[in-house]
Structure 1
Amino acid sequence: MKNPSIPLLAAALLAGATLLPSQKGHAQMNTQTNTGQPAASAIVQEPPYVGMWVTEDGHIRHELLANNRYVEARGSREKAYQGRYKVTGTYIEYWDDTGFTADGTFVDKNTLHHGGMIFPRR
Structure 2
Amino acid sequence: LKPKSPPEYRGKNLKEHREFCRSCEVAFRLLPEEFTIDDDKVIWAMQYLGGDPRELWYAHYEHSFEALGTTPSWTYFKQYLLDLLADPINRSLDAATAHAQALQRKDQPVRSFATYLEVIEEQL
TM bucket (normalised to shorter chain) is under 0.3
Q: TM-score, normalised by structure 1?
A: 0.17
Q: TM-score, normalised by structure 2?
A: 0.17
Q: Identify the structure with bigger relative contact order (alpha carbons < 8 Å, sequence gap 6+).
A: 2
* Larger gyration radius, structure 1 or structure 2: 1
More helix by share: 2
